[in-house]
Amino acid sequence: MSDLTTLTLSEARDGLAAGDFTSEELTTAYLRALETIRPLNAFVTETPERAVEMAKTSDARRAAGQAGVLEGLPVAIKDLFCTRGVQTTAGSRILDGFVPPYEATVTANMWAEGAIMLGKTNMDEFAMGSSNVTSCHGPVENPWRINGDNRSLAPGGSSGGSAASVAARAALAATGTDTGGSIRQPAAFCGIVGMKPTYGRCSRWGIVAFASSLDQAGPMARTVRDSAIMLQAMAGHDPKDSTSVPRDVPDYEAALTGDLRSLRIGIPEEYRMDGMPTEIEALWRQGIDWLKAEGAEVVDISLPHTKYALPTYYIVAPAEASSNLARYDGVRFGLRNGADGGDLTEMYEETRGFGFGQEVRRRVLIGTYVLSAGYYDAYYLKAQRVRSLIARDFSDAFETVDAILTPTTPSAAFPLGDKMDDPIAMYLNDVFTVPASLAGLPAISVPAGLDKNGLPLGLHLITNAFEEEMLFRVSGVLENAAAFATTPQTVA
């Protein structure tokens, strides 16, 4: 492990500013780290030449006194973000070989602020999954291991490659996307920080769409401060996304005051699930004690429709996915199959039948069914109404509290291959993250402890819409109190 790759993003930023090392040196150290962790399969595409070229340009820009927020800092990009001239697959065979002729707004913002691209990270196909095993590029391995057990563990998903690369010190930070927990759950499984901003805070333009009313890009990093710096560069209004919100981006790093006095933190009773492992319960209680010790007032709250969040999500998300994924038809980009028979419908069916993996196929079929004539009201409209109630639960709660504390996941990372036979068992991974997604609220997972097997566990904070500053403020204190310093077994 090189000294440079042990630095956090904010430390590396300060080191570059002080002239302790150059971006080219830092980038070269990370490109070596990328090679070391290849067995994890965290990257789909490495872009070393581009990285070195960007680093040289960055060093020149800094010398000219023009350093951006992420100037000279090497990061990884989830393969769901369209990157001009670099293959973007979304983990799907149907996009094999697709080279976008344009750049996503979020990544364009990051390059404009001086970030260096190391490569594109592996992910569940079209971001549909909680284990990174649905990728057409094969699963990612979690850099952590159970004590005394060498089985490969799932990194979580869908942003599994981003989480694994940051945890293994092969990227300073990475972009993720979160539809129902795809940033926060893998962050918890890999012992890093993962943050989903308010819906509308980051532009969705150029991000391969899964469920458009839920998808949101966010940072994955080793610390809360690093996440705040990343979001600073990623966020902002974009006229090319009509749901992007025209609000100024505050100084997120300045929100890390370390002061919780006079804040009220809500503990939702409905998140105490039957059969929840005692370790998760204990960590949650520990989190409450930490926040109390820092001067916050902790109060019990009720979010009565919590148990309906997952079934609501598994109607809304597949419905939107089936509509969004209609564009993969073999006509304009990506895979084409079955065109030789001469029938257009056959070409569509063969292309999509071959191009989509099993989980994507399941969700496209469920989505098609719940949107079809005769079933729309009973499933889709019903789910949209329950979604209103879930959002209302949160807005009622935020009348009296500043933030809500819950566990991130109902378990630590599980062995690769587990939970594959039962889709619903896999869906339950997102039980604590999905409600905030449905309500469009910002939320963050912070590594807070280890389970009895030595695997990381996360605590989860949720705040009201566009209160990312409050989220960073509270999570910064939680992070300091937890003082999580363990590194995974695999470190570059």
Query: What residues are labeled active site?
Result: 78, 158, 182
Q: Segment 64-103, which members bind other proteins (CB under 8 A)?
A: 97-99, 101-102
- Cβ 422 to other proteins shortest distance, Å: 8
42 contacts: CB under 8 Å, gap ≥ 6: 76, 121, 122, 140, 141, 155, 160, 161, 162, 164, 165, 168, 170
CB of 336 to other proteins, least distance (A): 4
End-to-end CA distance of the chain: 5
The contact mask relative to other proteins for 310-329 (x = CB under 8 A, - = no) is -xx-xx------x---x--x
Which is closer to other proteins, CB of 295 or CB of 341? Answer: 341
What is the H or E stretch that residue 291 is in? helix 278-293
Taking CB under 8 A as the binding criterion, the range among 144-152, 198-206, 228-236, 294-302 that sits at the site for other proteins is 198-206
Comparing CB distances to other proteins, the nearer of 223 and 244 is: 244
> Which of left, alpha, beta for 4 (phi over 0: left; psi -120 to 50: alpha)?
alpha
For other proteins, the binding residue among 214, 230, 296, 434 (CB under 8 A) is 214
Q: How far is the CB of 53 from other proteins (least distance, A)?
A: 22
Binding mask 98-127 for other proteins (x = CB under 8 A): xx-xx-------------------------
Span interacting with other proteins, options 54-62, 111-119, 131-139, 386-394, rule CB under 8 A: 386-394
| Residues 153-192 contacting other proteins, CB under 8 A | none
Shortest Cβ 467–other proteins spacing (Å): 14
Query: Dihedral angle at the C-alpha atoms of 127, 133, 138, 140, nearest 10 degrees?
Result: 90
Q: Which of residues 396-455 bind other proteins (CB under 8 A)?
A: 423-424, 438-440
Considering only 386, 457, 461, 492, the residue that binds other proteins (CB under 8 A) is: 386
How far is 157 from 162, CA to CA, in rounded Å? 9
Q: Which of residues 356-375 bind other proteins (CB under 8 A)?
A: 356, 361-362, 364-366, 368-369, 372
Q: Enumerate residues 455-474 that contact other proteins by CB under 8 A.
A: 465
Calpha distance 335→201 (Å, rounded): 33
DSSP state of 329: S
Rounded Cα gap, residues 51 and 187, in angstroms:
25
User: Is 383 among the residues that bind other proteins (CB under 8 A)?
Assistant: yes
Token pair 């998760």 is at which residue? 280
Q: What per-residue string of b and e applies to 240-268 under the rule 16 or more CB within 10 Å gives b?
A: ebeebbeeebeebbebbeeebeebebbbb
Task: Give the residue, chosen from 66, 147, 388, 489, that forms a contact with other proteins under the rule CB under 8 A.
Answer: 388
Size of the site for other proteins (CB under 8 A): 71
CB of 400 to other proteins, least distance (A): 20
Least distance (Å) between residue 44 CB and other proteins? 17
Helix (H) or strand (E) holding 221: strand 216-221
Spatial distance between the Cα atoms of 300 and 306, rounded to a whole number of angstroms: 15
Omega prior to 158 cis, within 30 of 0: yes
Residue 491 burial class via C-beta count within 10 angstroms: exposed 0-12, middle 13-18, buried 19 and up:
middle
Q: How far is the CB of 428 from other proteins (least distance, A)?
A: 10
Nearer CB in complex with other proteins: 153/439: 439
CB-nearer residue toward other proteins: 59 or 393? 393
Helices (H), 168-204: 184-190
Q: Fill in the per-residue mask, 227 to 256: x = in contact with other proteins (CB under 8 A), - = not in contact.
A: ------------x--xx-xx----------
Contacting other proteins within 330-359 (CB under 8 A): 330-336, 338-339, 341-345, 347-350, 352-354, 356
Q: In whole angstroms, what is the distance from residue 366 CA to residue 317 CA?
A: 10
Query: Of the two residues 118 and 465, which places its CB atom closer to other proteins in the complex?
Result: 465
Segment contacting other proteins by CB under 8 A, of 37-45, 275-283, 379-387, 479-487? 379-387
- The CA-based diameter of the chain, rounded to the nearest angstrom, is 71
Residue type, 34: L
Non-local CB neighbours of 292 within 8 Å, separated by 6+ positions = 298
Span 269-298, contacts to other proteins by CB under 8 A: none
Stretch that binds other proteins, among 153-161, 278-286, 383-391, 482-490 (CB under 8 A): 383-391
Q: Of the two residues 21 and 98, which places its CB atom closer to other proteins in the complex?
A: 98
Residue type, position 421, single letter: D
Closest Cα partner for 311 from 431, 156, 397? 431
